[in-house]
Amino acid sequence: MSQDLIKVFLSKKNIFVVKEASNRPKHYGYQLRKDLKEAGGLLDIAYALLLMGMLAMAFNIQLVEANPGTIIVPDEYSSIQEAINHARTGDTVQVKAGIYLEHIVVDKEGLRLLGENGDTTIIDGNGTGTVVCIKANNTVFSGFTVQNSGCNMHTRASGIYLDQSFNTSVSSNSVINNNLGIYLYESPNSILKNNNMVGNRYNFGVFGLNLKDYIHNIDVSNVVDGEPIIYWVNQANKQPPPNAGYVAIVNSTTITVENLTLAKNWQALLFAYTTNSSIKNVTTNDNMDAIWLNECSGCSIYSSNVSDNIWGGIALVNSSGCSVYENDINNNGEYGIFLSYTSDNVFYHNNIIDNRRQAWLHDFNNNTWDDGYPSGGNYWSDYVGADRSSDGIGDTPYVIDSLNKDYYPLMKPWDLLPPEEPRKNIVLYVIAGIGAIVIILGIGIYAIKLRKRPSDDRII
């Protein structure tokens, strides 16, 4: 056997190089076998074992990685998906400007998909399905226009869908006219920069089962209908800007979100693993879900308008010690309030009107639904109880389930004016009235005294 290297390709990924370790006499193996045979049949086994050991020592086997390559579309393959199918891990797929009517699934790790020009390199779903689905880790997707997905809500048909993908970078894309623009599904450590989501039914959304699924690097260069995405992780004592188009607060504390109008996202406002933070005077409409609290504690939602969202209003999941009060929660398509595995939260002085399910409880929940008497609970548009005492509070509870009852339902909508204010005003009016009466009486008494006083006129 010569000393030259012999390359054996066992797969597209790996090359095995076999090299002879040293020269041996040509008769070496034959002579050994001959000697063993002469020693008797019992030595055949020893011969076999010895020969195997000699072969193991005689050859040195190394594993060599193939270098990543570059595939150009449409020069080498007419479609992007065909190029992905023929790519190896770590390859770059460069796509020239043009319109590509196709749906892409990236299922090989480490691929780089790069468009020649973000405005003129277009992937068009032609109104069906998800246009770009990334299932593999460490993917780079940059420089495309992604448009015209299907409209199936159950499959979350999207422009760009990250499906359990880790450490994927999505940058410098225009995502236009899709059911859902960019959606991150259980895809930790995603990196989003300079993506423009406009004209989608819902522009942006995130879903996860644990904290790592919400840890992303998403900065304000990402915009939804011209307004920045605010995606904060590990922050404290901050307030999002008034022009935010989407807000997510993750693993943070003492954040104040107020005076915002949020629309056309998968969820308008997300708190995940966040504590002691507040949502005040926020208007949400035309979202899939409005306000979502996941694994939160000590948070509050108040003085907000959560109405006319396609699926739901306010959701609390695995959250406790939160307060929801003085909100309008109206005309949401599936639920007004959704709870799952929650406890020790309090809901009062909310107007809960004409939602398909006023309160939807999933699994175990044990919460308080009123502020006691005479402050009262919530106004429920479907409450049918009476108010024989005419105190503005229903005589019988509004029952959600056996552990969740509003014992003091309001007979009329709450006017969203804090209860301290009218009481304070009444006190002021009473004081002012008493003061006016005292002044008038004082003036009257003084006038009477003047009439009774003797004249000081003297006759000269």
Question: Could you write out the DSSP letters of every residue in 17-63?
Answer: EEEE-S---TTHHHHHHHHHHHH-TTHHHHHHHHHHHHHHHHEEEEE
Predicted confidence band of residue 51 (pLDDT cuts 50, 70, 90): low
* DSSP summary character for residue 428: H
Mean pLDDT calculated for residue range 326-341: 98
On whether both 49 and 97 belong to a single domain, the answer is: no
State how many domains the chain has.
Answer: 2
On whether both 129 and 227 belong to a single domain, the answer is: yes
Question: β-pairing, 328-330 with 305-307?
Answer: parallel
On whether both 81 and 224 belong to a single domain, the answer is: yes
pLDDT at 52 over 90: no
Question: β-pairing, 217-218 with 191-193?
Answer: parallel
Which stretch of DSSP H or E encloses residue 438? helix 420-452
Residue 386, token pair as written in the block: 């009476």
On whether both 230 and 258 belong to a single domain, the answer is: yes
**Residue 297 neighbours by CB distance under 10 Å:** 18
Predicted confidence band of residue 36 (pLDDT cuts 50, 70, 90): very low
Predicted confidence band of residue 184 (pLDDT cuts 50, 70, 90): very high
pLDDT in tens, 162-181: 999 999 999 999 999 999 99
Which stretch of DSSP H or E encloses residue 281? strand 278-285
On whether both 50 and 125 belong to a single domain, the answer is: no
On whether both 127 and 180 belong to a single domain, the answer is: yes
Does 444 map to a domain?
A: no
Does 411 map to a domain?
A: no
Instruction: State the pLDDT at residue 12.
Output: 36
pLDDT at 159 over 60: yes
Contact 329, 337 (CB under 8 A): yes
Roughly how many angstroms between the first and final C-alpha of the chain, as a whole number?
160
On whether both 132 and 14 belong to a single domain, the answer is: no
Instruction: State the pLDDT at residue 64.
Output: 44
* Total residues found in the chain within this entry: 460
Instruction: State the pLDDT at residue 456.
Output: 43
Instruction: State the pLDDT at residue 16.
Output: 35
Q: How far apart are CA 67 and CA 58, in angstroms?
A: 29
Q: How far apart are CA 405 and CA 380, in angstroms?
A: 12
Mean pLDDT of the chain: 85
Task: Calculate the alpha carbon distances from 123 to 81, 115, 149, 163, 232 in Å.
Answer: 11, 10, 10, 19, 30
CB burial class (10 A; 0-12, 13-18, 19+) of residue 215? middle
Poorest-confidence range of 97-101, 290-294, 451-455?
A: 451-455
Contact 264, 247 (CB under 8 A): no
Nearest to 201 by CA among 243, 152, 165: 152
Which stretch of DSSP H or E encloses residue 442? helix 420-452
Nearest to 358 by CA among 424, 319, 428, 409: 409
pLDDT at 17 over 60: no
In which domain, by residue range, is 42 found?
6-65
Name residue 191's beta-bridge partners. 169, 217
On whether both 33 and 106 belong to a single domain, the answer is: no
Instruction: State the pLDDT at residue 256.
Output: 98
Contact 280, 303 (CB under 8 A): yes
Instruction: State the pLDDT at residue 380.
Output: 98
* DSSP summary character for residue 212: G
On whether both 247 and 135 belong to a single domain, the answer is: yes
Instruction: State the pLDDT at residue 154.
Output: 85
On whether both 367 and 335 belong to a single domain, the answer is: yes
Mean pLDDT calculated for residue range 190-216: 98
Does 442 map to a domain?
A: no
Q: How far apart are CA 374 and CA 127, in angstroms?
A: 55
Mean pLDDT calculated for residue range 317-330: 98
Q: Which domain-ending residue is among 391, 406, 421?
A: 406
Does 426 map to a domain?
A: no
Contact 248, 272 (CB under 8 A): yes
Instruction: State the pLDDT at residue 420.
Output: 46
Instruction: State the pLDDT at residue 68.
Output: 85
Q: How far apart are CA 407 and CA 33, in angstroms?
A: 96
Instruction: State the pLDDT at residue 11.
Output: 36
pLDDT at 19 over 50: no
DSSP string, 129-163: S-SEEE-SSS-EEES-EEE-----TTTT-EEEEEE
Nearest to 136 by CA among 103, 106, 171, 167: 106
Contact 183, 190 (CB under 8 A): no
Poorest-confidence range of 12-26, 77-91, 126-140, 289-303?
A: 12-26
Contact 221, 236 (CB under 8 A): no
Tell me which residue has tokens 């190029």.
83
Instruction: State the pLDDT at residue 67.
Output: 77
Predicted confidence band of residue 388 (pLDDT cuts 50, 70, 90): very high
Mean pLDDT calculated for residue range 148-170: 96
For 318, half-sphere exposure in the C-beta direction (CA atoms, 13 angstrom radius) is 9
Tell me which residue has tokens 């089962």.
209
On whether both 57 and 171 belong to a single domain, the answer is: no
**Residue 421 neighbours by CB distance under 10 Å:** 9
Q: Which domain-ending residue is among 366, 388, 406?
A: 406
pLDDT in tens, 267-277: 999 999 999 99
Instruction: State the pLDDT at residue 377.
Output: 98
pLDDT in tens, 408-457: 999 999 985 444 444 444 444 445 555 556 566 656 555 555 555 544 44
On whether both 171 and 58 belong to a single domain, the answer is: no
Nearest to 202 by CA among 223, 221, 180, 183: 180
Does 429 map to a domain?
A: no
Residue environment code for 350-389, b if the CB has 16+ CB neighbours within 10 A, otherwise e? bbbbebeebbbbeeebebbbbbeeeebbbbbeebeeeeee
Residue type, 253: T
Q: Which domain-ending residue is among 46, 65, 84?
A: 65
Mean pLDDT calculated for residue range 353-359: 98
Contact 109, 138 (CB under 8 A): yes
